[in-house]
Structure 1
Amino acid sequence: MELIVLWDIDHTLIENAGVSKEIYAAAFSALAGRRPTGPARTEGRTDRLIMRDMFLRDGLPEPDWPAVEAALAHAGEDRLDDLRIRGTALPGVHEALKAASAHDGWVSSVLTGNIAANARVKLSAFGLDPLLDLAAGAYGADAELRPDLVAVARERTRRLHDVAANVPVVLVGDTPRDVEAALTTDSAIIAVASGIHSAEELAAAGASVVLPDLSDTAELLGILESLAARGKRPRTSLGCP
């Protein structure tokens, strides 16, 4: 059975140990000529919205997006070594991605608020990039709102792999915005409580499957295979306390 699996990155696949907020602050400083008055608010939002919010909060005009994206990419590249030293891949992630990438008929990629350049930085820091079909993913430069990224990933996957329009999509992420993106696009959701949001919060947001993390590869693969076979969201709260 075919399946499109789209993984979030920060706090789902990796712990960035604060490097992400340093990237936003550095990009803002490069464009504004001074430090921001406060840290970036992330929590599953796209880079477009994160950076816009920083400029609005500080009462500054928002630069053109190409300039913002270039500043973000430069700041991300500069912090690759910091990320390797301070961050980590989360438990079970290598095994989960390896198993999904090897599964016949599945496309395993990303759906992330990060711009593509910084998604690659974060994944490559821990050797995860070869385990994902990054060309099929959707990124923070592709749309402002996370649900709109699902259509982008679907179209890229269709174009690259000639999959049918009705192939089920499952998002794997750690925030209520990941859940919202799935529910509003008729995708399945596997929520993981490996970020700041508890299992209870993710279930309350509408996630029918909530896992503590991705450490149990057999359980995760079983859920994904069930979704591929049924082609719809599961009705039970597997893994949810």
Structure 2
Amino acid sequence: MELIILWDIDHTLIENSGVSKEIYAAAFSSLAGCVPTGPARTEGRTDRLIMREMFLRDELPVPEWPVIEDALAQAGHDRLGDLRSRGTALPGVHEVLKAASLRSGWVSSVLTGNIAANAHVKLSAFGLDSLLDLSVGSYGADAELRPELVAVARQRIQRLRGVPADVPAVLVGDTPRDVEAALSTDSGIVAVASGVHSPEELAAAGAHEILPDLLDTKEVLSVLESFAGHAKRPRTSLDRPRMR
């Protein structure tokens, strides 16, 4: 059965231990000539939105996006060592990504608010990049709002991998924005309570399948398989979230 799996990165696949916010602060400082008045607000936002909000909050003109993207890429490159020493791949991630990559008919990639360069930095820091088809993922430079990234990934997968338009897609992520992106695009969603949001918050956002983490490879694959081979079934008032 064919399936598209789009994984979030931060707090779903890896723990960045604060390095992400340091990247945003460094990129901002390099462009503004001063430190930001507060940390970046992330929680599933795209890099386009995060950086724009930082400049507007500090009442500064927003630079052109290519300039911001270059600053983000440089800041991410400069902090690869910090990420390796302070961060980690979350429990079970290597195993489940490897298993998904070996499934016939599955395309396993990413849907992330990070720009592509920094997504690669974060994944390569822990040896995860080779387990994902990153060339067909969608990234923070592709759109400002997360739901728009779903169509970007689908189009790349159709064009570069020849996957038909009706193959189901499922997002795996840890925030209500991941849930929103899935539900608003008729995609499946597997919410993972490995970030700051509780299972109850993810259920309230509309997630139907909720996992505490990705540690149990067999269980994660079983949940993903439930989305394969058929269009996403619309939820009804009788449905209840499954917190596994």
Give the TM-score band, short-chain normalised: over 0.9
Which blocks of at least 5 consecutive residues in structure 2 are unaligned?
Answer: none
> Deviation at 1:237?
5.1
| Structure 1 residue identity aligned to 2:96 | A
Could you tell me which runs of 5 or more consecutive residues in structure 1 were left unpaired when the two chains were aligned. Answer: none
Give the 5 Å matches for 1:168-187. Answer: 168-187=168-187
Residue type at the aligned position of 1:240: M
CA contact (8 A) 1:147 1:182 kept: yes
Q: Is the 8 A contact 1:187 1:233 kept in 2?
A: no
Distance in 1 between residues matched to 2:183 and 2:241, nearest whole Å = 17
**Equivalence for 1:189:** 189
**8 Å contact kept, 1:13–1:89:** yes
Residue 79 of structure 1 is matched in structure 2 by: 79
Task: Determine if contact 1:23/1:72 at 8 Å carries over to the other structure.
Answer: yes
Q: How does 1:205-224 map to 2 (within 5 A)?
A: 205-224=205-224
C-alpha distance in 1 between matches for 2:119 and 2:210: 24
Give the match's secondary structure for 1:10: coil
For 1:196 and 1:134, how far apart are their aligned partners in 2?
26
Q: In structure 1, what is the Cα distance between the partners aligned to 2:233 and 2:207?
A: 10
Tell me the alpha carbon deviations over residues 173-221 of structure 1, each in whole angstroms, 9 at most, x when there is no partner.
0000000000000000000000000000000100000000000110110
Q: Secondary structure in 1 aligned to 2:228?
A: helix
Superposition TM-score, scaled by structure 1 size: 0.98
Q: How does 1:35-54 map to 2 (within 5 A)?
A: 35-54=35-54
2:163 aligned with 1:163: yes
Return the offset for 1:225: 1.1
SS in 1 for 2:227: helix
Q: 1:203 to 1:238 in 2, by over 3 A?
A: closer
Contact 2:203–2:241 (CA under 8 A) maintained in structure 1 = no
Aligned residues: 241
Q: How does 1:19-38 map to 2 (within 5 A)?
A: 19-38=19-38
Q: Normalised by the size of structure 2, how large is the TM-score?
A: 0.97
Q: Is the 8 A contact 2:174 2:194 kept in 1?
A: yes
Contact 1:40 1:54 in 2 (8 A): yes
Instruction: Measure, in 1, the Cα distance between the counterparts of 2:12 and 2:221.
Output: 16
Q: Would you say the 8 A contact 1:208–1:234 is kept in 2? A: no
Shift of 1:230: 3.2
Which 4+ residue blocks in structure 1 deviate beyond 4 angstroms?
233-239
The answer for the alignment partner of 2:130 in structure 1 is: 130
